[in-house]
Structure 1
Amino acid sequence: MQIKSIKAYSLMQPFVGGRYNMSKGRGADGFDAILVSITSDTGVTGWGEMAPLGNFYSAAFAAGARAGVPEIAPHLLGRDPRGLAQINRLMDSVFNGHPYIKAAFDMACCDLTARAAEVPLVTMLGGRESDMADLYKVVTHGSVDAMVDLARRIVGEGFHRLQVKVGGKVHDDIERVTAVAAAVPKGTVIFCDANGGWTAYQARQFADATRAIDYTMEQPCLAIDDCLSVRRSLDKPMVLDESVTSLEQMLEIHRKGAADGLTLKISRLGGVTKTRQIRDVAVDLGFMITVEDTGGAEVDTAAMAHLSLSTPEERRMHAIAFHEWVTVRTARNAPPVVGSRMGVPDGPGLGIDVDPDLLGKPFLELSH
């Protein structure tokens, strides 16, 4: 089997709820996505997607992805898409760094490989551990009243897991989280996610003032050592997200004892193949795991679902349904969401039936 043709599309995906706000005034109005289709000489097509959250969240940006895709794609023509390790080594050889650009190619090859084998991708990723994964929803950064209203609305929709954005002025965030925790039912799972927005000093101030609240601290500082210094004085679990950029970084976090759990983002790590590798090692090392991404719609959400449901249930934290965030559709179906839980679509590969007519004209078309 050989890769016969590659197409790439660029698509803006506006958010359903308007602007998505984080600390320090950072925000975005939607995902600027790249979708890639890879077709083999046997006629099987696989799809991949990546979408950065603005230019501020990760070392990734949509214009960079659009520029990088034509640099990598020609090298893949004629290659066997089922040789996932070889495909990844090739991409790393011809294009140094920029894992987010490679993520959509790898995802498309994974989808194609599973479709050709006529099995769901979850089977190739280790097997389905459960039928559904618990979902969380985000309480975006804003005024106390706005965050309380949003938290109540999310809980009213049947969700029991909240990620509350913090990382701004410490005393304001203390007020925000205290009010949100008081407004939701006891037993609601709360993650306080600073997205690396605090110094260690500020994070310890927040932790000390909120000891009476039951929550998990997520990425208080950018540097692993700063997060470790916070964790040493913290009486709550710690999850790292932005710090997990590679297998080596994950092993450093483990060696230092800097976290109890990890959030793995597919595009940050370079694709499904590398995410699966890091996930498997992290599970064996005892970490709790969330698998998600920086953004996307049906295709990317399906990849997150397959990785989540192939993660041992006792090691899985939760998942997120990004396709419900956006106002545009890219496929005729989507990962099934029932209440506050998500499964994988029926069918081989990702199980997503992408409709190219919804994507517009490709900005890249290559054939072998």
Structure 2
Amino acid sequence: MPGTTIQAISIYQLLVPLREPFVISLGPLAAVQNVVVVIRTQDGHVGFGECSPFLTINGESVDTCFVVGQYFAPVLKGRDALDLAGALAVMDRIIYGNSSIKSAFDIALHDVAAQHAGLPIYAFLGGNNRKTLHTDMTVSLDAPAKMQADAVRFQQEGFPAIKVKLGGTLEDDVARIRAIRAGIGPAHPLRIDANQGWQTADRAIAVLQALAAFNIEHCEEPILRQHFMELSRVRAASPIPIMADESCGDEHDAARLIQLQACQLLNIKLGKSSGFHRARIIARLGEAAGLTLQVGGFLESRLGMTAAAHLALTSDAIRHCDFDTPLLFTDDPVVGGIRYRAGGVVELPAGPGLGATIDDAVLRRAQQVHF
């Protein structure tokens, strides 16, 4: 369709400090280093996408994304923006992996396609807004007293569930959870995320069994993702349900984990799956297998998290949302997008497409390239 031909593509770096370092077992993060993709079509539609590359998870950085995006832009320019699967196939032919920057292009293209259809992205993908989305709030890895204070504050702020970063020694992690439970009480929903920090199955099983008494909903990625063949043994021995995160990047990973009966839950992230196209396949696989699903993210702004929120409305099996990182930013560069309400409620914007853009003043100051 001539009107939906991609006329111009712009790529920007989005750099924002965090209020305080965000620490996980893979290391500390002090600032947001993201990439924003803007796609314009001949008929005047403008689509926005964002990725938050993560060196230790998807092997990408703001620099690699900025460069690889310049491989994609001249090839995608002139193509039909509505050929979503075709665009992803083109990017896959250009370079293997690089799921983070591919997701920024995929989100921007879905924004255009949904605007063209006159629908919000979730409706364009077959979803609905009948359910209310709630985000958890994450306690960064630190000393027990600091983690307890943060958890108490998040509980007082009304977040319905608290997620705790772990991944240290058995003694240290038990001390952290014991302190948090002493602060928030025995009943407030509590989830944990080791980010592969326990490394081996035996060590993970020992820690999970030691945490059995603390009423924990689930545990994300307890062992090194390379050891995914061992995850089913962890699941069988763990009193806490297991969620795959780093080991579940695309639909092929999800299919393997399901076949292995490796986990009860999957965590879907657009930055791991290369965007909506593959994320939806993962969701369908998980739903068919009877798994509970979560949609999360990295350090996306409210723009990237708005895309994640649209995804969360496309499947009834998606019951958990981890959309809290924009609350850590020192500045909010997003116009429109999701809003955080009382009780951890996440409210999507009305109207067609993504419903979020980046402030023009922020884009003008950013390192940028145009095609």
Q: TM-score, normalised by structure 2?
A: 0.94
Match of 1:224 in 2: 228
1:249 CA drift (Å)? 0.9
Alpha-carbon distance in structure 2 between the residues aligned to 1:310 and 1:167: 32
Pick closer, same or farther for the CA change 1:129–1:282 going to 2, 3 Å: farther
Letter in 1 for 2:369: L
Choose which of 7, 12, 15 in structure 2 pairs with 1:9. Answer: 12
Deviation at 1:328, TM superposition (A): 2.4
Q: 2: CA distance between counterparts of 1:72 and 1:155?
A: 44
Q: Contact (CA 8 Å) 2:101, 2:274: kept in 1 or not?
A: yes
**SS of the residue aligned with 2:141?**
coil
Give the number of equivalent residue pairs.
Answer: 362
Amino acid in structure 2 at the alignment position of 1:72: F
Deviations 1:122-159 (A, max 9, x none): 10122214342111011111101001001000001001
Distance in 1 separating the partners of 2:21 and 2:169 = 20
Q: What is the rounded CA distance, in whole Å, between the counterparts of 1:231 and 1:169 in structure 2?
A: 20
Q: Secondary structure at the match of 1:342?
A: strand
1:136 aligned residue: 136
2:312 is equivalent to residue 318 of structure 1: no
Kept in 2: contact 1:217–1:238 (CA 8 A): yes
Q: CA deviation at 1:52?
A: 2.2
Confirm whether residue 346 of structure 1 aligns to residue 346 of structure 2: no
Residues 52 and 62, structure 1, Cα contact 8 Å, conserved in 2 = yes
**Which structure 2 residues correspond to residues 97-136 of structure 1 after superposition, within 5 A?**
97-136=97-136
Q: How much does 1:315 deviate?
A: 4.1
**Structure 2 equivalent of residue 272 of structure 1:** 276
Q: Partners in 2 of 1:325 and 1:132 — Cα distance?
A: 23
Deviation of 1:120 (Å): 0.6
CA distance in 1, matches of 2:255, 2:8: 37
Fraction of identical pairs, as percent: 26
CA displacement 1:50-79 (0-9 Å, x = unmatched): 0124x3343222211111111111100111
Instruction: Give the Cα–Cα distance (whole angstroms) in 2 for the partners of residues 221 and 322 of structure 1.
Output: 23
Unaligned runs of 5+ in 2: none
- 2:337–2:354 CA contact under 8 A, matched in 1: no
Aligned residue in 2 for 1:288: 292
Per-residue Cα deviation, 1:76-114 (whole angstroms, up to 9, x for no partner) = 011111111111111111222211121111100000111
Give RMSD over aligned pairs: 1.5
Q: Which residue of 1 aligns with 2:23?
A: 21
Residues 164 and 193, structure 1, Cα contact 8 Å, conserved in 2: yes
Assess, with a 3 A threshold, how the Cα gap between structure 1 residues 301 and 174 changes in structure 2: closer, same or farther.
same
- Provide the C-alpha distance between the structure 2 equivalents of 1:237 and 1:2, rounded to a whole number of angstroms: 46
Q: Which of 335, 338, 348 is residue 338 of structure 2 equivalent to?
A: 335
1:82 aligned residue? 82
Q: Which amino acid aligns with 2:291?
A: F
TM-score (norm 1): 0.94
Aligned partners of 2:93, 2:122: CA distance in 1, in Å?
28
- Preserved CA contact (<8 Å) 1:321 1:342: no
Q: Counterpart of 1:44?
A: 45
Q: Any stretches of 5+ residues in structure 1 without a counterpart? A: none
Among 361, 364, 370, the alignment partner of 1:365 is 370
2:72 is aligned to 72
> CA separation of 1:167/1:127 partners in 2, compared to 1, >3 Å: closer, same or farther?
same
Residue 362 (structure 1) shift: 5.0
Deviation at 1:177, TM superposition (A): 1.0
Q: Is the 8 Å Cα contact of residues 140 and 165 (structure 1) preserved in structure 2? A: yes
The answer on whether the counterparts of 2:221 and 2:244 sit within 8 Å (CA) in structure 1 is yes
8 A Cα contact 1:132 1:341, kept in partner: yes
User: What's the counterpart of residue 207 of structure 1?
Assistant: 208
CA offset at residue 206 of structure 1?
A: 0.9
CA distance in 1, matches of 2:366, 2:228: 42
